[in-house]
Amino acid sequence: MASWPPVAADLARLRETLAWVARRSSYWARRFESAGVDPARLASYEEFRTRVPRLDKAELVANQRAHPPFGELLAAPREEIASLHTSPGPIYVPRLAEERGGTAVLAAAIRAMGVGRGEVAHVTLSYHVMPGGLRLHRAFEEAGCLVINGGTGASRLQVQVAHDYGATVWAGTPSFLANLRDTAREMGLRLPYRVGFSTAEALTPALRRDLETSLGIELFDHCGEAQIGPLAGECRMHDGMHLHTADLLCELLDVETGEPVGPGGTGELVATQLGPHALPLVRYAPRDVFRLLPGACACGDPAPRLVFVGQAGAIRKIKGVLVHPAQVHAVVSGFPELGRFQIVVDHPPGARYERALLRAGTVRPPADAAALARELGARLKATVLVGMDVELVPESAIPEAAGAPRFAEAMVDRRAKA
Ligand SMILES: [Zn+2]
């Protein structure tokens, strides 16, 4: 994988990739030219970092809308495209036949869990439209496993299949694993899983303990990003997630200064895809913030280890207190009636103080709505240290992008900008 900070070999590969990209994509040719960067002559990582601007998701979406369907980032003629994925936005993500599409990275992450030939893997991520389920399915096949294409939903059938095939490995979101466990209980069946690949949702310590003890399973937390694909996963030490990135240059940069972050520091991920890609991303910044763990891992894998902190854009100062939606999520998830939520911050003209409203989405009608709202307000005040009004709404009224683990739309800031 590419090192952090980058070394000479990484820079050589970066130069080669950028030159390829500039030849094939009108967007990137223009962008490098206006930044005064000649990709073939890029002298240092510093030059790359300080000159080439970041690409954010909004820019990518806008460019695809203006030049449908793939936008000007496209770097391959249609006949070279092997498959089409869609990620939230929606963003259309074409893939070249030669692109590894994240499976090499996933296969490494699967081996780090101690999973290999002879295991039966049950994949319960969605196989529809988004790339997640299919990608993980291919990776488990590559790792030598027998793979069950479970997908989401149809819990009773999934429990039956996992039981009858003797699935030893489970993969999916922790909330769906909890659903399968409860369903198996109702059916009087035991799920035979030995290890689990948890992804696409926060695996909180409480949730991990609950699932591990009730199922007798060892869970491994993993994370990825919609456009970039899989990023990092836990090894058997369960002390942070190793960055398993064969074809990515990952920068970790201070949120305020943009300077590279060292061991122990917290920084925003900026990723550049290395090698040929149909829709090449250069300095793509999804606004995910990670902490870089110091020291070497006891497992012997030298790949850097990360802990996901949250979305850079989601952190807000409310009534003088820094609040991350993940903290609010920890409180809200203690109420089984509640799902996604949004925090609306406002400072009405003439009002003396800011106002914070928690719009909590209900997944089922609460027995006593007023009592639930009161209790939620009190727990928020006690743990997040900010008083919030609480409004209960059906979960469908809260955008899906507000949900864990990214909370991209969980904060609605209506305060006038100074
Ligand atoms: Zn390790």
Check: CB of residue 113 under 8 Å from CB of residue 220: yes
In what helix (H) or strand (E) does residue 306 lie, and over which residues does it extend? strand 305-311
Contact 375, 360 (CB under 8 A): no
The whole-angstrom separation of Cα 233 and Cα 102 is 13
Using CB atoms within 10 A of its CB, is residue 239 exposed (0-12), middle (13-18) or buried (19+)?
middle
As a whole number of angstroms, the distance between CA 312 and CA 232 comes to: 18
Better-predicted residue by pLDDT, 228 or 100: 228
- Three-state SS at 34: helix
Tell me how far the alpha carbon of residue 238 lies from the centroid of ligand 1, in angstroms. 7
Tokens for 277, please give them.
Answer: 């890609």
Angle of helix 174-187 relative to helix 205-215, nearest 10 degrees, comes to 30
pLDDT in tens, 258-311: 999 999 888 899 999 999 999 999 999 988 888 899 999 999 999 999 988 777
State in Å: Cα 377 to ligand 1 middle.
Answer: 40
Q: How far is the CA of 168 from the centre of ligand 1 (A)?
A: 22
Residues 174-226 pLDDT 10s: 999 999 999 999 999 999 999 999 998 888 888 999 999 999 999 999 999 88
What's the gap in Å between 120 CA and the centre of ligand 1?
24
- Cα(195) to ligand 1 centroid in Å equals 16
Render pLDDT for 122-152 as a digit per residue (tens, 0 to 9). 999 999 888 889 999 999 999 999 999 999 9
pLDDT at 418: 42
> Which of the residue ranges 86-95, 160-169, 256-265 has the most confident prediction, judged by mean pLDDT?
160-169
Residues by chain with Cβ below 5 Å of ion ligand 1: 235, 237, 297, 299, 301
Residue 148's closest CA among 176, 117, 116, 125? Answer: 125
Rounded to 5 degrees, φ, ψ at 254 are: -55, 135
Q: Which residues contact 49 (CB under 8 A, 6 or more apart)?
A: 251, 253, 258, 260
User: What residue has token string 């926060």?
Assistant: 202
How close is the Cα of 109 to the center of ligand 1, in Å?
Answer: 11
Tell me what the mean pLDDT of segment 70-93 comes to. 91
Structure confidence at residue 322 (pLDDT):
66
Q: How far is the CA of 300 from the centre of ligand 1 (A)?
A: 6
Q: Distance from the CA of 231 to the center of ligand 1, in angstroms? A: 15
Q: What percent of the chain has pLDDT over 90?
A: 69
Return the higher-pLDDT residue of 10 and 417.
10
What distance, in Å, lies between the first and last C-alpha atoms of the chain? 43
Q: Output the CA 240–ligand 1 centroid distance in Å.
A: 8
Helices (H), 307-411: 325-332, 369-383
Helix, strand or coil, per DSSP, at residue 244: coil
Q: Compute, in angstroms, the gap from residue 294 CA to the centroid of ligand 1.
A: 12
Q: Are 321 and 380 in contact (CB under 8 A)?
A: no
Of 47-61, 84-98, 243-257, highest mean pLDDT: 47-61
